[in-house]
Structure 1
Amino acid sequence: MGPPLHLVHIKILAADLLSLTVLQTSRPSFLRRGRTVTRAELVGIVVSRDRREKFLRFLIDDGTGCVPCVLWLNHQYLNANVSSELSASDPNAEMALKMSEEVCLGTLLRVRGKIVMYRGAIQIAVRDVVLEKDPNVEVLHWLQCVRLAKECYDLPPPSAPGAT
């Protein structure tokens, strides 16, 4: 039995993320081969960017597909309305703003966040963004995804003994 996947950011390719099984309950659940996943880590190129007042929406392309991502900025604006001094000292607002500046068309990023549904499609609610300067990171991520899928993620769930 592998580790519980719902407790970690699983390294995953876009094609695998976008093909997760969705269980429609009051809060959608996402399954990979019968095991619940809630968080993901992707590496890819920013191919679309749309900044609004409360959020930054962008697409990450890793060569297997494009994943919609959203970085919420609204806490920054809520705090700014209370006091400009308060927003300057809010680490979440400062961090979200700094991360949003890293998201530029054509840049290679590592994105981690929660898997969510929005208007019937899977997307990532971004927790953090890291600008990758080494182009080899993308290929290394692909290799890690394949290895982890084989050794950890795609093992049969504990409730299905003897499954292959």
Structure 2
Amino acid sequence: MEAHAKLLATELLGLTVDPFSASFSTSAGHHVSNAEIIGMIVTRERRNDYLRFHVDDGTGCVPCVLWLNQRHLIHSSSHLDLLAGSTQVHVEKTQLGSLVCVRGRVSVFRGAVELVVSRVAVERDPHAEVLHWLQCISLARRCYGRCPLLETVKRKKQKISGEDD
């Protein structure tokens, strides 16, 4: 099982890519290969080979892609049947307006960061997004080294208080 970094959209979209190693890192220098986000599905486009959708968590919109045609990745027909059934379940969960938790591998497509989906779960708890925000802030402070969201809020407060002087 792979670990997934809990990130806000602003952090995920701000990851930098090393073109030589194709790895991603946060502004604090931590490497990220898999991520988890929670937000609302605001766009959805289905094609023959993939489902592309955007998840908005209030800090930004993360492009996500769920590959539907994964025959080239699986060599056993029993695994292919299992994967096809699982993929169809994920497709059904990705409805416009749904609050979802998405896990996947961080990738770049046409110069933009995206999430290649491995799991989609509909959130039933209306507080899930707020809890995710709090967990992301806590992890950013304790584990990731810094919290870009809090730094942005501090800069805005300083700007406002500086204008009042």
- Are 2:22 and 1:31 aligned? no
Superposition pairs of residues 1-164 of structure 1, within 5 angstroms: 8-25=3-20, 27-32=21-26, 33-75=28-70, 90-154=81-145
The number of residues matched between the two structures is 142
Q: Which runs of 5+ in 2 are unaligned?
A: 147-165
In angstroms, what is the RMSD of aligned CA positions? 2.1
Secondary structure in structure 1 of the residue aligned to 2:48? coil
Q: Which runs of 5+ in 1 are unaligned?
A: 1-6, 80-85, 156-164
Secondary structure in structure 2 of the residue aligned to 1:41? strand
Kept in 2, the 8 Å contact 1:112–1:126? The answer is yes
Normalised by the length of structure 2, the TM-score is 0.80
Secondary structure in structure 1 of the residue aligned to 2:70? helix
Q: CA deviation at 1:133?
A: 1.2
Distance, in Å, in 2 between the alignment partners of 1:57 and 1:115 is: 14
Secondary structure in structure 2 of the residue aligned to 1:8? coil
Q: CA deviation at 1:76?
A: 6.4
| Per-residue CA distance 1:104-127 (angstroms, 9 max, x = gap) | 000000000000000000000000
Q: State the 4+ residue runs in structure 1 displaced beyond 4 angstroms.
A: 76-79, 86-89
- State, as a whole percentage, how many aligned pairs show the same letter: 48
Normalised by the length of structure 1, the TM-score is 0.80
